[in-house]
A and B are shown apart, each in its own frame.
Chain A
Amino acid sequence: MATAIEPMPRDRLSDRRRRRGRELLQGWGFAAPAIVLLAVFLVLPFILAIYSSFTDQRLVPNPNLPTKWVGLRNYRRLFENESFLSGLVFNGIFVLVVVPLQTAFALGLAVLVNQKLKFRNAFRTIYFAPVAVTMVVVAVMWTSFFNPSAGLVNSVLDTVSFGFLTPERFGFLNWALDRHGARAAIIILSIWQGVGFQMVIYLAGLQSIPDSLYEAARIDGANPWQQFRHVTIPQLRNTTIFVVLSTTILAFALFDQVEIMTQGGPQDATQTMILRLITFGFRQGQVGMGSALGVFYFVLVVVVAFTQRRLLKEERAVA
């Protein structure tokens, strides 16, 4: 190998070495602030989360009870905890309802504002606007709209149904006070705030479909519905995979609106994983339990993200 190196004038060789040495230093110099911050505030807590999830670590240590290794106890307790299981149930319901509804709604909105219509930019602006509204504010506003006796929602329902849809007749119209009503209310306000984001992603997807495909379909005699079904939908496959899975991940993170509106009630009907995480890890000071939940949550997110990569790769392999 050594013989392969051509003899080089000394000054040029050292010059190149010096430059490479400088690049090494400069490279680390540019990256160092971010690397240090990520190491301290992301990597270290991540390692700590895995470690503490096997200990009985507490937020405020008790000097008489040193932290000890407890094996899988935290994980076992987690899955014996009724509230946590209720949280899993509501997170699951939320995913199953919100993901299809919001995805279909977003696609519908994107198709609407993608037409050549007057004022379409104004409509785009309006449909996207809730994304710029902080979730805490959204939750506060909708909590007052969903007030069973003095809220806008019930008053509208009452009016359009000529007094048929009332909380007395339908329990769920007590919204935050009713198991099903609370779930429905959280779902509605979440879609209201989130759908604009997915709409924008779909809009970008729609605009990347070549016109020639639609022309070809028209020549073959496809009507608008057939064009949508056989050109638009298949062409949006990757966009849909992204939208579905990112909505799923967001749905697992459900917290702000629940904390404001119901705090997980009534009777744990709107309990969520992250609500439990903050209860264990912060309010009850059980770092071990909170960490175990954090690790479980991380694994869930990784599974969803890898499903997405797998599906996208398949697509590339086929194409």
Chain B
Amino acid sequence: MEVMDAVRHVEEGVDVAGRSRRLRLRRPLTYAVMVLLAIFFVFPVVAMVVLSLQPDETQVIADQDSIWAFFPRALSLQNYEDIFGRDVGRAVFNSALITVVTVGLGLVVNSMCAYGLARLQWIGRSVVIGAVVALMIVPFQSVSVPLLLVVNRLGWLDTYHVQIIPFVANPFFIFLFYQAFIGLPKEIEEAALIDGAGRWTIYRRIVAPLSRPTFATVGILQALFVWGSFFWPLMVTRGPDVRPLPVAMQVLFSDPNVPLGDVFAFAAVMTLPILALYLAFQKWFVQSVASQGLKG
């Protein structure tokens, strides 16, 4: 026994020494890898911002494939002034409006539906729950062409509501709210019911405030979807009046007469507000996106 112990001690001693040497080597290596990866993930955004601040188009073209894509040689807002002269203000307004209204209505409609499903007993409830779960699987693209036919007949093309109303209700968001609501303790609600509070009051005053994290999660997720939405607006918008940012970006980008500096400025306008929000509410963003893992 003693011999075995001694052997083990020796082995452990050797091992510890070896491991700490390996660790001492590994740490800087790990950091080096992580920094390289960080560069890989941030360089497009840095280049976008730096080049958007360069007013001289020939300089943008000269700098875009050199180290000067990352270190500003000029700090001018000329490109930004130029693009706002090109209806970009309108596109920003359109996207902001569509996003805010869709998310606002979506939060109310989807959470109300989930509350009805989670807390009230009514005929048809289990059928609706089954339908919501089944509909989660239907991809929007597969219904887009007949939907285009419908909105075309309704005369909805080139409007705000054609970009809003179809995206308010969402089975996946109903499901997220439903999961959150059934997890809430029933006692507070029951006490409120005995005190004579109506269901609407309970939903607004108790359930909604208690589920703020879920509202934030769903709101961010839906806002990201709507803000970046490209496929549907491409089909239902014609002119610049109601055109959202991604479509406006494509129009600008495919026009060979538009200077690159303007394209980069436009990209920055589309990206920086979202990135700022992401940095400010990071935890919520990550949680939102990760909540899609529940779909499985």
Q: Which of A25, A59, A126 contacts B152 (CB 8 A)?
A: A59
Given A46-B138, A151-B65, A278-B234: A30 touches B274 (CB 8 Å cut-off):
no
Are A154 and B65 in contact, with the CB atoms below 8 A?
A: yes
* Interface assignment of A43: CB less than 8 Å from any CB of chain B: yes
Which chain B residues border A126 with CB–CB below 8 Å? Answer: 38, 41-42
Which chain A residues border B231 with CB–CB below 8 Å? Answer: 255-256, 274, 278
Interface of A is mostly: helix
Q: Using an 8 Å CB-CB cutoff, how does the interface string of A191-212 with B read, 1 for contact, 0 for none? A: 0100011001100100000000
Are A34 and B41 in contact, with the CB atoms below 8 A?
A: no
Least Cβ–Cβ distance between A287 and chain B, in angstroms? 5
Least Cβ–Cβ distance between A28 and chain B, in angstroms? 6
- Residues of A in contact (CB 8 Å), total 96
CA–CA, A49 to B267, complex, Å? 36
Output the nearest chain B residue to A125 by Cβ-Cβ distance.
Answer: B282
Least Cβ–Cβ distance between A239 and chain B, in angstroms? 8
CA–CA, A144 to B48, complex, Å? 10
Which chain A residues border B31 with CB–CB below 8 Å? Answer: 117
Are A34 and B165 in contact, with the CB atoms below 8 A?
A: no
Are A41 and B147 in contact, with the CB atoms below 8 A?
A: yes
Q: For the side of the interface on B, what is the size category? A: 35 or more
CA–CA, A191 to B292, complex, Å? 18
Which chain B residues border A297 with CB–CB below 8 Å? Answer: 139, 141-142
CA–CA, A130 to B45, complex, Å? 9
Are A287 and B290 in contact, with the CB atoms below 8 A?
A: no
A-B contact count (CB 8 A): 269
Which chain B residues border A260 with CB–CB below 8 Å? Answer: 250, 253
* Interface assignment of B275: CB less than 8 Å from any CB of chain A: yes
Are B41 and A130 in contact, with the CB atoms below 8 A?
A: yes
> CB within 8 Å of A: which of B97-135?
109-110, 112-113, 115-117, 120-125, 128, 131-132, 135
Q: Which of A30, A112, A144 contacts B116 (CB 8 A)?
A: A30
Q: Which of B138, B166, B169, B271 contacts A298 (CB 8 A)?
A: B138
CA–CA, A191 to B69, complex, Å? 22
Given A38-B135, A155-B65, A290-B145: A201 touches B113 (CB 8 Å cut-off):
no
Are B143 and A49 in contact, with the CB atoms below 8 A?
A: yes
The residue in B124, B171, B246, B275 that gathers the most chain A C-beta atoms within 10 A of its C-beta is B246
The 19 sampled A-B contact pairs (Cβ below 8 Å) are: A26-B120, A30-B203, A33-B109, A33-B112, A112-B33, A117-B34, A129-B275, A133-B275, A135-B228, A136-B228, A144-B260, A201-B290, A242-B293, A242-B296, A260-B253, A274-B141, A278-B234, A287-B146, A301-B139
Using A23-B121, A291-B146 as known contacts, list a sample of 16 further A-B pairs with CB atoms less than 8 Å apart, ordered by residue number in A: A27-B116, A30-B199, A33-B109, A34-B112, A34-B174, A37-B165, A38-B169, A136-B230, A137-B271, A140-B249, A141-B44, A151-B64, A238-B296, A274-B141, A294-B144, A298-B139
A residues lining the B interface (CB < 8 Å): 20, 23-31, 33-35, 37-38, 41-46, 48-49, 52, 57, 59, 109, 112-113, 115, 117, 123-138, 140-145, 147, 150-152, 154-155, 192, 196-197, 200-201, 204, 238-239, 241-242, 245-246, 249, 253, 255-256, 259-260, 274, 277-278, 280-282, 287, 290-291, 293-295, 297-298, 301-302, 305, 308, 312
